[in-house]
Amino acid sequence: MSMAELNWQDNSKEMVQKLIEGSPKPFRAMTEKKMMEGLEKKAGEGGAVTEDIVIEVVKEITPKPFVAMAMKSIEPLLTKK
């Protein structure tokens, strides 16, 4: 499944793009790969990606010391505060 095939809800796609762009250059491809794998697994059959799913995946794939920074970067994009 590619980014185009997923069913993005609210600002979920913008959040993912911001997270990928925000990761250090050498890790971008790996971040994107892990992010997409996690999203696909959680989105299931319909491929619906919610902001909550993005947050769950961020917490799972981001190294612990960087979770707070990653969360802070996408916080402004959350539609449900």
pLDDT tens digits along 23-71: 999 999 999 999 999 999 999 888 999 999 999 999 999 999 999 999 9
DSSP type of residue 10? T
- What pLDDT is recorded for position 71? 96
> Which of 3 and 75 is assigned the larger pLDDT?
75
44 falls within a domain: yes
80 falls within a domain: no
- What pLDDT is recorded for position 45? 85
Total tally of structural domains belonging to the chain: 1
Domain around 44: 3-73
Beta-carbon contacts of residue 79 (< 8 Å; ≥ 6 apart): 10, 11, 51
56 falls within a domain: yes
14 falls within a domain: yes
42 falls within a domain: yes
Query: CA 58, CA 41: separation in Å to the nearest integer?
Result: 13
Tell me the percentage of the chain whose pLDDT exceeds 90. 88
